[in-house]
Amino acid sequence: MSGGPLRLVLSDMDGTLLMPDHSISEPVRAAIAQLRAAGCHFSLASSRPPRAMRAQVQALGIDDVATAAFNGGTLVNPDGSYLLRHFIAPQALRTALALFAQHPVAVWLFADDQWLVTELGAAYLEKEHTTLGYGPTQVPSFEPYLERADKLVATCADFALLERLEGEAQQALQGQALAARSQAYYLDVTALAANKGDALASLAEHLNIPLGQTAALGDGHNDVAMFRRAGLGIAMGQASDAVKAEAGAVTASNTEHGVARAIERLILPRV
């Protein structure tokens, strides 16, 4: 934990900001409004595409700072323009696709503001449809999109397999791309510069705020990069022990309005 007043808070969305039904609870909404009224910037970082974050950005009235989509690979200004965008290296995509083809997982690609699939039978397809608020586009091949892909996802109901695949993908893609689970059932591949830690650093630099005066909230493995860069990292109560160990503090779970508690007890006293 670093000194100085906190001036920027970056929060994960699913499992952190949002309830299991993807809503923002009133205690969380009120705490964020109080935080912003006190002069502290608040923004969102998610593995979601930008268009699947717009409703929450608008609901919270975030109009003073960019938000981070695709695990930090894309920074989007409040007016919808891009502050920063990192595509995955095509060769890294081909390496990941070859690895995933050896296992019983469904594979999705996000490119051109679309959710692309080659098959429609994935276990978590309907769940993703509900989360994003829009459906997939079926294509015969991902090849035409590999030059401008934002995220590749492997998904299945075998969580242990995805955990093993995470390690294999990290080794195979070392120095080319990042691989991290955003949920127990989603393994995301993003550009090498697409991580929430770098996103936090870019947002802080854009706002001329030292990293020591930032805080980060999250619950997943892909949030650890934020914890390592922020002045204060706060893990949600339902996070794994490994994620909690990377944070400077732990709050309540998302179902217990953990973001609101963190703001009231840990962040506002330092604003």
Domain regions of the chain by residue span: 8-85+194-270, 90-191
pLDDT at residue 62, as a whole number: 96
Q: Is 132:48 a contact under the CB 8 Å cutoff?
A: yes
Amino acid identity of residue 209, one-letter, is I
pLDDT at residue 182, as a whole number: 84
Burial class (CB in 10 A: 0-12, 13-18, 19+), 3: exposed
pLDDT at residue 183, as a whole number: 86
Amino acid identity of residue 242, one-letter, is A
Q: Is 111:148 a contact under the CB 8 Å cutoff?
A: yes
- Do 8-85+194-270 and 90-191 come out as alike in CATH topology? no
Q: How far apart are CA 170 and CA 190, in angstroms?
A: 11
pTM as predicted = 0.85
Please give the distance of CA 55 from its chain centroid, rounded to a whole number.
Answer: 16
pLDDT at residue 3, as a whole number: 64
Each residue's pLDDT tens digit in the chain (271 positions)?
456 899 999 999 999 999 999 999 999 999 999 999 999 999 999 989 999 999 999 999 999 999 999 989 999 999 999 999 999 999 999 999 999 999 999 999 999 999 999 999 888 999 999 989 999 999 999 999 999 999 999 999 999 999 999 999 999 999 999 998 888 899 999 999 889 999 999 999 999 999 999 999 999 988 999 999 999 999 999 999 999 999 999 999 999 999 999 999 999 999 9
Bridging pattern class, strands 149-155 and 186-191: antiparallel
First to last CA, the chain: 14
Q: How far apart are CA 1 and CA 219, in angstroms?
A: 18
pLDDT at residue 1, as a whole number: 45
Please give the distance of CA 124 from its chain centroid, rounded to a whole number.
Answer: 18
Q: Is 76:83 a contact under the CB 8 Å cutoff?
A: yes
Q: How far apart are CA 207 and CA 7, in angstroms?
A: 9
Q: How far apart are CA 197 and CA 150, in angstroms?
A: 17
Query: Coil, helix or strand for 149?
Result: strand
Question: Two tokens at 40?
Answer: 């502290």
Domain 90-191 in this protein, CATH class:
alpha beta
Query: Coil, helix or strand for 235?
Result: strand
pLDDT at residue 106, as a whole number: 96
- β-strand partners of 8: 41, 214
Amino acid identity of residue 120, one-letter, is L
Indicate the CATH number for domain 8-85+194-270: 3.40.50.1000
Identify which of 171, 151, 153 has the alpha carbon closest to the alpha carbon of residue 162: 153
Question: Two tokens at 209?
Answer: 């705020």
Query: Coil, helix or strand for 221?
Result: helix
Q: How far apart are CA 250 and CA 163, in angstroms?
A: 24
